[in-house]
Chain A
Amino acid sequence: MASLPKRIIKETERLVSDPVPGITAEPHDDNLRYFEVTIEGPAGSPYENGIFQLELYLPDDYPMEAPKVRFLTKIYHPNIDRLGRICLDVLKTNWSPALQIRTVLLSIQALLASPNPNDPLANDVAEDWIKNEEGAKNKAREWTQLYATKK
């Protein structure tokens, strides 16, 4: 394993010294490219009051390649599938090396606030979302209650 690039070290330091409200990201002790992340559900969304666990991994080519992020907490969302994989432009084709862990996590938080059922990853959820938005939101609220609330 090559030494950790300065960029990752500095980003980690800055995440600690200047944290993002509603988001935490802590590197793993034995792998500094692996982060344990929590995101608070945005107010006004069906995910409000939920705290979602995610994992974030910085691949070898980071920052030329996007970080790999996945939800660990079960969530009912048209752009997040059963395995927690996220369909978000900045994690794929619209990734830019000028983005950071911080901005990616903010984008995910924004995705919770405004789901995009026309570009789904979880087809069944998206269908539900389009056909019966209120029902889908209620279900998302239920799941947040069930899986994403502090016990």
Chain B
Amino acid sequence: MGNSPTKLDSGNSTPNGSVVSGEYDISNNANYRHRSRHASLANGILNANTNTTTAYSSRQRAHSMFDKLDRDKQKRKSTKEREHLKEIHARGLVVKYDESCDGGFLAPFGCYGFDKLDYNIVMVKRLIVERKLAPFYTPLQDFDESWSREEIIKIVDGLPLHASFEDNIEEFEDVPLGNLDKPNFDYLIDKNLSKKDQRRQHSKIFKARLYRRRLIWQETANETFLEDKMDVRMGKVKNKYLPSDDLKYSLYKNGIECPICFLYIPGPLNYSKCCQQPICSECFVQIKRAEPHFPHEEVDPTKPVTDDFVKDPNLLISEPSNCPYCATPNFCITYKPPKTRRTGIGGISPSEFQDTEIKVEEVKEKEKDGIDGETSPRSSTSNDNTNLKPVDNKVSIISSDDIRPDWQIKLKKERQRLAKRAANAEAIHVSNQLVDPEYSTRQSSNSDIPTPSSFHGGNRSGAIDQIEDEMVQHAIRLSLEEQRRGKKN
């Protein structure tokens, strides 16, 4: 891979101490790999042996080893529980006009797809309410400096609460939805399918239904927003959640184009901690760790390439995301909440907001004189300075990992999955060596990579029981030998 000069070179180094083990050259470490794998197999068999009879087949032995692995894991959630959590997540992504902070919202506008919004919504909402992260503002596609106050207000009045949804998603084409009001959709599943395929169908239908339901939830919220806006415009009622014209103008006259989505967003935005570049919250929640992967190595083209299949699962790494602007590892943002407005949750009603630059000056004067503007209670008359609650001067730092705290679980799961696969292959490899004495010589003639395709089903049937103990002993012997050799080195 060529190194482009457009970014800092730090991207290739691993800053995190915990992943440094992945740095050494695996292509020269075939011995280490084998040693560790034999050892783990033998350990697994020994562990299994303590509480099982010798009548177990090798495969079952291997399985009991994984049962142990599974027991070590956190108790797995049932499908139902997991689906329930997904539903709560999807509900949390609905933008509601009466849940606002300083003129923005607690859920994103929808520039990025539903399946990309896998951040921790509870965490993000809390950060927004605490004014540690900019709220999700409704973006403008463009902005023209020459727009008058009236024009800006008119444009903002026409803004939707959420971006339009993609209606016909290819993935969900021809997936039956059934009655969306009823939670049970078992009747849609073809009972003639195998258990596995039924599960697959279930999850497919669940996904399609959730997508559709979220669309309906958002549309309902949009309708409420429009109707309430109409009622206010026609002078029927007052609505404390809808922004005043002053708020609309004050929000959008001082906007900025986010360098990532190129949309015009009311300020202040979040800023990268390292290089002080702006980023809107909608883009910030998209920045995350890459999926667990093996470290990229520069290789000598004259040597054979190591396949991912034979790599040690423990070498899988997951690095914190880099700053999109300067590639500094472990991307963090800072956010200074607006000084001139504090509306919605934790502030005054958006409808009561009044924009007067003079008032800011007044507050500053008062603060200088030692008078605390915060002590006066919020009043609906707002002829005082209650618009302006002095803001905490402490700047908080939020990292990408803060809003996706589950990355470690993900990495662990992927490592376990690979370890399982490798151990399976190893078990087959060892059993084949024993069943068929010529197997190993044939195998080593091309490569030492055990693959599931090298399984000789026919030879196994009768012999397997008799060679049970032999196999176990052989595996242990191999492991001990390797260990001894390892110590010598």
Contact = CB atoms under 8 A, between A and B. Distances in A.
Interface in A96-128: 96-99, 103, 106-107, 110-111, 114-121, 123, 126-127
**Looking at chain A's contact residues, is the secondary structure mostly helix, strand, loop, or mixed?**
loop
Interface string B274-293: 00010000010011001001
A79 interface: yes
Interface string A40-80: 00000000000000000000110110000000000000110
A110 B4 contact: yes
A126 B301 CA distance: 7
A36 interface: no
Contacts of B262: 6-7, 10-11
Given A11-B262, A119-B299, A123-B301, A94 B327 contact: yes
Nearest to B115: A61
A98 B259 contact: yes
Interface residues of A, number: 42
A45 to B, nearest CB: 13
Contacts of B112: 64
**Looking at chain B's contact residues, is the secondary structure mostly helix, strand, loop, or mixed?**
loop
Interface of B: 1-7, 11-12, 111-113, 116, 141, 164, 166, 259-263, 277, 283, 286-287, 290, 293, 296, 298-302, 322-325, 327
B5 A96 contact: no
B287 A119 contact: no
A118 B323 CA distance: 27
Nearest to A87: B1
Given A64-B116, A96-B325, A123-B301, A87 B2 contact: yes
Given A6-B261, A64-B286, A126-B301, A111 B116 contact: no
Contacts of A118: 298-300
Given A6-B141, A64-B112, A89 B3 contact: yes
Contacts of B300: 118
Nearest to A92: B1
B2 A103 contact: no
B322 A96 contact: yes
Which of A63, A89, A99 has its CB near the most chain B CB atoms (within 10 A)? A89
Contact of B6 (A5, A79, A90, A115): A90
A31 interface: no
